[in-house]
Each structure stands twice: as structure tokens, then as C-alpha cells.
Chains A and B, each alone.
Chain A
Amino acid sequence: MPREFEHTQFAHCESGVVSTLVSQKGLQLSEPMVFGLTASLSFVYLPVIKLNNMPLIAYRQLPKNIINKIAKVLNLTIVTKRYKNAFDAQRDLDGLLEEGKLVGLQTSVFYLPYFPPDMRFHFNAHNLIVYGKEGNRYKISDPVFEEGVTCDPKDLAIARFAKGVFAPKGFLYYIDEIDQTIDMAAALKKAIRKNAKVMLIPFPYGGVKGMFTLAKKIASLQSCGDRRYLTNFLTHIVRMQEEIGTGGGGFRFLYAAFLQEAIGYGLPQKPLQQASELMTRSGNTLREFALLCVQGAKNPDDFDAEAIAAKLREAAQTEREAFSLLKGL
């Protein structure tokens, strides 16, 4: 099967990789389905954790959430391995490829030479699939790219053993057994309810409330005299949303797509349809929010903190509505 493997481009690396791995085992599952089934939509604003001196802002669950949860949700066996040294890691990878398996890897974007220079930051939780070898080089299906790419074993080893936050430690995974008789409707219902719980959590730095807290922080920046910090902070919010996320609130569109697809599995149409539209609207609002952030960053002398904060609050309110609908599913 992997001999005629076809590369697909996805919106998000982890959901894309898992979607490919599961589908290749015979259970056709789209990227939005993988994302939704593992209840991956989230919002986190944690000012105490710093990445490049900026607060942690995430628009989805932390990396590896999908890989960790998919096995339980779909009752399949996913084999995961971590390594102490690059030699063992590569030997195992080669062995699995020999067997014709598709192998998922966690890597650091910074050390992957096929990435354009401007995209290479120390982000350690980038997922990709290795599907074969071409001479000495690995054939890689990287969900960010339009086409398949190749990579030198030496560079790949460095990327797999990058250090820092979310250090991959050679993390490798593949799917072993798959249960074709899963009760999808029940799994979907459970996942949606769980996601609603996550988004409506009564904790000021998570979910909808986290969005309000971030809005408050933005509003307080009006009197901030440090323009360089302001520019960096505003674009940091956007980068967390777009780069590590996808397409301006892209995770919201991904979740909206999931809700729409879920209707096809016999779930109640009305609340799902409505929630899907609300999530689409939130995605649009977040995109406008990103635009305002960038405009503010371009012109820090004349920026309207309150307007930016208001946009984020609007998105938060929309999501609160959507998940209130889904909570009692």
C-alpha cells in the first residue's frame, strides 16, 4: 500500500497526519473528523508560560493531544516510541519502513531544511509522515506542503532530537490494529460534549473565559509605552493563530467542518447545523481580529486597543453560544 502512497496537504499537521494514518488502514476519516473526535478545539492563554518571551496562547489543545486520544476514541492501537539516541531511532524507523508501514514523527521545524527560512522557528511539535526511502533520503509527506518532500537522514535526526519546550525525543508513532466496527455516533456525541466542557470551563485562562482574559490584557495595552513590545505582542497573537494554527481562526473553520460532517452520522441536525454556523462566524471574527492586530502592530501610535479587544470578545461570545448548544447534546 505505501508503494502507491499519495501525499495530501492538510490545514493542521497533527490532525492531517493522523487522518492519513487512519485512512491508510482502511477507516476513511477526514481531517476535521480526527480533529473533532479528539475534542481538540480549545483556547488557552497562559501568561506565566513564556515562548520567546511571549505568553503561551493556543487556539487548540496542546500538541500530541490527537495522537494520545485517538486510540481511545476509535478503539485502535497506536504504537508510540521515544528514544534516547538518534542511532536507535533511525534503525527503528528504517525497520518500520521496510515493513511497508507509514510512520508519523514529531520534529522541530527549525532543523528541517526543506522549510523556507522565514518559517524556521523553534517549534518542536511539528508532525509529518515518512513513507519511504529514495536512495539515502527519506520520502516525507509533510502536511504543510503541497507536494511530497525529501530529507537527509542527518537533518531529520537533528530535527527529531531537538531540545526545548515540547522536545520530541525522537517520538515516533504508527497505527497497528484498527477496529472497523466502531459506533461512530456515540463516539461523536461524547467528543462534542467533551469539547463543550473544555470550552466552557470556569477557569479564567482557558476556553471562552480565556478569550475574555486575553481581551482584557489587550485593552490594557492602550497605555503601554513600549512600542516594540506592543508590535511583538500583537503579531505574536496572530502567529499563534495562523502559523501554528491555520488560516486566521482556521481551527474554528476546522471544527465547523467537523460539526457539519457529524450530522451525516445520524446526530441531531438542528443544533449541530446552528453550532457549525456559529463556529464559522467565530472563525471569521477571529480573522478580522487578526487583521486589527496587524494594523495595530503596523501603526502602534494610533491603535485602538479597545476595538481589538472588542473583536475578540465578540468571537468569545459567539463560541459561548455555540458550545452552550452542544453541551446538552
Chain B
Amino acid sequence: MAKVQIPQEENATLGGIRKVMYAPSEDGRFTRHNYGSSVEEFATKVAVQEYEKLESEALRRIADKEGSAVAYFMYKNRMDLPTLASVTGLFQFQIKRHCKYRVFVKLKDKTLQKYADAFNITVAQLKGCNDAPGV
């Protein structure tokens, strides 16, 4: 009978929960076991950090007057282009344009409101971030 190792490592990303998996017990019958895996922890952390990296890059681009607050908040909310397009009802190519500084500053409040709703913030906050990134 094949044996299965049940990892009992720390996984800080789960905030104290331990997930379950199926594995054979002593008698060979499958039952549920709690486990913690550092492999999972690492994979999740990389994904979280990737968004953090994208966020800080977006902030830098705003400061350089290249990027806009749309990109920053998109990453802050862990979204990608298709997700944001679906939430706002805009096309992906529009959002790509709105991620540029010079396009963003000309956007109407109506469009900005769509983004603000998607990010659960106010239009003022969205504009504010574009004027003074990182504050």
C-alpha cells in the first residue's frame, strides 16, 4: 500500500487555519487529515508579493507621469485586465489607455466613478492618488 506523507509545516498565509487532505491511515483506509505545507505557503507568498511589486511599480510610473492611478488600484485590488474590464463594463483597450497618465487626467468624472466603484473608493481618492502617489 502506497504511503502518503502528511506535511505538518507552518503556513502563515492561512491565518491559523489548517486545511484538510485525504490520506490512508494505518489500516490503509483513506480519511481526512489536517496538514500545513510550506510549499503552498511559498507559492501564495510569491503571488501576493508579485501584486505588491506591481503596485509599487505602478506608483513609480505615476510619479514619472507615465502611468495612472487606475493601474495602481487595479493591482492593489489584485485584479488583472479582464477582471477589471468585467467589473467596470469597459473594454480592455480602454482600460489600457486609462492606465496612461496623460489620458487619465482628461477622463470625465462619469468614467472615474466606474473605476471608483470597482475599487470601492471615492473619485476624489482616485484623483488624489494620481496627483500625489503613495500618500
Q: Please state if B83 and A253 are interface contacts (CB–CB under 8 Å).
A: no
- List A residues 283-322 near B (Cβ within 8 Å): 283-284, 287, 290-291, 294, 297-298
| Closest-CB distance, A266 to chain B (whole angstroms) | 18
A164 at the B interface (CB under 8 A): yes
Q: Please state if A238 and B32 are interface contacts (CB–CB under 8 Å).
A: no
- Quick one: given A9-B20, A257-B30, are A164 and B39 in contact (CB under 8 Å)? no
Separation of A232 and B42 alpha carbons in the complex (Å): 11
Q: Please state if A247 and B21 are interface contacts (CB–CB under 8 Å).
A: yes
Instruction: Give the segment of B44-52, B61-69, B107-115, B127-135 that binds chain A.
Output: B44-52
Q: Please state if A294 and B21 are interface contacts (CB–CB under 8 Å).
A: no
Taking CB atoms, residues of chain A closer than 8 Å to B46 are 231-232, 235, 297
| Closest-CB distance, B132 to chain A (whole angstroms) | 25
Taking CB atoms, residues of chain A closer than 8 Å to B4 are 253, 280, 283-284
Chain B residue, CB-CB nearest to A147? B17
Taking CB atoms, residues of chain A closer than 8 Å to B82 are 50, 164-165
Q: Please state if B14 and A119 are interface contacts (CB–CB under 8 Å).
A: yes
| Closest-CB distance, B17 to chain A (whole angstroms) | 6
| Closest-CB distance, B79 to chain A (whole angstroms) | 6
A139 at the B interface (CB under 8 A): no
A32 at the B interface (CB under 8 A): yes
From the candidates A165, A261, A298, name the one contacting B83 in the complex (CB within 8 A): A165
Separation of A287 and B43 alpha carbons in the complex (Å): 13
Taking CB atoms, residues of chain B closer than 8 Å to A165 are 82-83, 86
B119 at the A interface (CB under 8 A): no
B37 at the A interface (CB under 8 A): yes
Separation of A51 and B81 alpha carbons in the complex (Å): 10
B87 at the A interface (CB under 8 A): yes
Q: Please state if B2 and A243 are interface contacts (CB–CB under 8 Å).
A: no
Q: Please state if B20 and A10 are interface contacts (CB–CB under 8 Å).
A: yes
Taking CB atoms, residues of chain B closer than 8 Å to A53 are 80
| Closest-CB distance, A113 to chain B (whole angstroms) | 12
Q: Please state if A247 and B35 are interface contacts (CB–CB under 8 Å).
A: yes
| Closest-CB distance, B84 to chain A (whole angstroms) | 8
- Quick one: given A253-B22, A257-B30, A281-B2, are A164 and B83 in contact (CB under 8 Å)? yes
A120 at the B interface (CB under 8 A): yes
| Closest-CB distance, A169 to chain B (whole angstroms) | 12
Q: Please state if B47 and A239 are interface contacts (CB–CB under 8 Å).
A: yes
A167 at the B interface (CB under 8 A): yes
Separation of A258 and B77 alpha carbons in the complex (Å): 38
- List B residues 12-31 near A (Cβ within 8 Å): 12-24, 29-30
| Closest-CB distance, B80 to chain A (whole angstroms) | 5
Taking CB atoms, residues of chain A closer than 8 Å to B29 are 260
Interface residues of A (CB under 8 A from B): 9-11, 31-32, 50-53, 110, 116-122, 144-146, 163-165, 167, 228, 231-232, 235-236, 238-239, 242-243, 246-248, 250, 253-254, 256-257, 260-261, 277, 280-281, 283-284, 287, 290-291, 294, 297-298
Interface residues of B (CB under 8 A from A): 1-2, 4-5, 7, 12-24, 29-30, 32, 34-35, 37, 39-40, 42-48, 50, 77-80, 82-83, 86-87
What are 9 pairs between A and B in contact, CB < 8 Å? Answer: A10-B20, A52-B80, A116-B16, A118-B15, A164-B86, A239-B44, A246-B19, A253-B22, A290-B43
Q: Knowing that A11-B32, A118-B48 are A-B contacts, what are 17 other residue pairs whose CB atoms are under 8 Å apart, sorted by A's residue number?
A: A10-B20, A32-B22, A110-B77, A116-B13, A119-B15, A121-B47, A146-B18, A163-B87, A164-B82, A248-B21, A248-B39, A253-B30, A260-B29, A280-B4, A283-B4, A290-B43, A294-B39
